[in-house]
Amino acid sequence: MKENKISYWCAIIVGIALIIAALLKALSVNNLVIGITTGDIAGHYAASVLIDGSLSSMLLSLLAIWIFFLARDLRKLQRKAWAQAVLIGVALTIYGACFWYQYRSSLDLAVFFLLGLVLLFPLFIYRKDVK
């Protein structure tokens, strides 16, 4: 049986990086609370900013878990896993590139762009082997 260990390991690396990003995002919620108490974030936006910050951390971790589940099927060259990983990779790449273009000082957006490329690159190289 043919396997693709490169796509598997790239998916694992991207998943681990997204878990780290989710943890960093969760830890930065404290900065939001400080911004709210000091008045840097307006009081009428406070609840939505906290909810958005917490939700983005949770969604990053869910995306990482999804990639971990896909990694095994990517190694087995399964078409459904390939298609889902391509969609995730394209989404990460477009998100990172578009916002990084607008906000050049934000290094985490460049990281999302690179993570999308790390996920996409082996998928497109080995797309002919996918069944």
The pLDDT tens digits for 2-60 are: 788 999 999 999 999 999 999 999 998 888 889 888 988 888 888 898 899 899 999 99
Task: Give, in order, the Cα–Cα distances in Å from 36 to each of 23, 25, 27, 67.
Answer: 21, 17, 16, 34
Domain coordinates in residue numbering, the chain? 5-129
Of 96 and 126, more confident: 96
pLDDT at 118 over 70: yes
pLDDT at 113 over 70: yes
Q: How far apart are CA 121 and CA 7, in angstroms?
A: 9
pLDDT at 1 over 60: no
Provide the whole-model pTM.
Answer: 0.88
Average pLDDT over every residue of 93-106: 94
Q: Counting beta carbons within 10 angstroms of the beta carbon of residue 84, is it exposed (0 to 12), middle (13 to 18) or buried (19 or more)?
A: middle
Question: Is residue 69 within 8 Å of residue 60, measured between CB atoms?
Answer: no
Q: How high is the pLDDT of residue 36? A: 87
Question: Is residue 54 within 8 Å of residue 6, measured between CB atoms?
Answer: no
Which pLDDT band holds residue 97 (cuts at 50, 70, 90)?
A: very high
Of 72, 92, 56, 51, nearest in space to 9 by CA: 72
